[in-house]
Amino acid sequence: MRPDYIRIVEVGPRDGLQNEAQPLSPQERVELIQQLAAAGLKDIEAGSFVSPRWVPQMAGSDEVLESLSGRVDLRLPVLVPNKTGYENARAAGAREIAIFGAASETFSQRNINCSIDESLSRFAEVCALAKDDGVVIRGYISCVLGCPYEGKVEIAQVVSLAAKLIAMGCSEISLGDTIGVGTPDKARALAKACASETGIDSLSVHFHDTYGQALANILACIEIGVTTVDTAVGGLGGCPYASGSAGNVATEDVVYMMEGLGIDCATDLDQLVTITDSLSRRLGHPPASRVARAQLAKRH
């Protein structure tokens, strides 16, 4: 049975922009978040407290958070890799954090320079601090439906990781098809298996659209009870470790589909398209979103 409402977690200002060649200043990122909020989005990933040497596009995430400190109406999770990142995020006023691991050993080594077990030890330390501080914790798992190095990823490995992250204190697990290889039946089977350990209400799905399957995968998952979906305005994003990997499923495309299904997501489609138009011009490339392209062609 399909839900009446879908909660969108907008990841464009972090997961999307961190893969862009043209960086936006902290103030530009603040303005983008404010625009997305005006369009109705209330869960917006605001930045990343990893070293700017590794992800220069996220430099100044502390300025972004501090500028948005008055927006108590918004959930503004920020990515933290370790205790130092957590402490920096808290100093900037973070009320919600995200930790990020991988279901593939090779991807874990390439992405965060440690094994899966080592990453879990880091996360345990961060989660303990966050729980003491009353900070909400989101857990990301990458490569849940395939890895650019190892190929197939076993469902049991993803389920085990999800259960461990919940036990550490994560209130939500985002299942990331990082290279966009999943198809609907596989996506549904994975979500169902993880839900048996975490509960369906603790899951979000995070699909990249490399093979054009993201919307179909989302539909397959919401039909078994998933009610949270990660998206990125304009279809921003990608994976620097997987050649040919496309960006996140576009927020506009998801909102358009939900409206067609009669499912509320409390987001203004016209405003999203306007944001995408402006953002694409700033970044110097056309939007990946099919809906934005179609709507903008009509406008112009």
Question: How far apart (Å, rounded) are the C-alpha atoms in residues 296 and 300?
Answer: 6
- DSSP conformation letters of 245-299: ---BPBHHHHHHHHHHHT-B----HHHHHHHHHHHHHHHTS--S-HHHHHHHHHH
Question: Of 29, 14, 36, 33, which Cα lies nearest the Cα of 100?
Answer: 14
- DSSP conformation letters of 199-215: -GGGEEEEEB-TTS-HH
Q: Which amino acid is at 151?
A: G
Question: How far apart (Å, rounded) are the C-alpha atoms in residues 125 and 109?
Answer: 19
- Kindly name the residue from 170, 221, 239, 265 that is annotated as catalytic: 239
Other CB atoms closer than 10 Å to residue 250's CB: what's the count? Answer: 30
Taking 3-state DSSP, the helix, strand and coil percentages for the chain, each rounded to the nearest 5, stand at 50, 15, 35
Active site residue 239: yes
Catalytic residues: 239
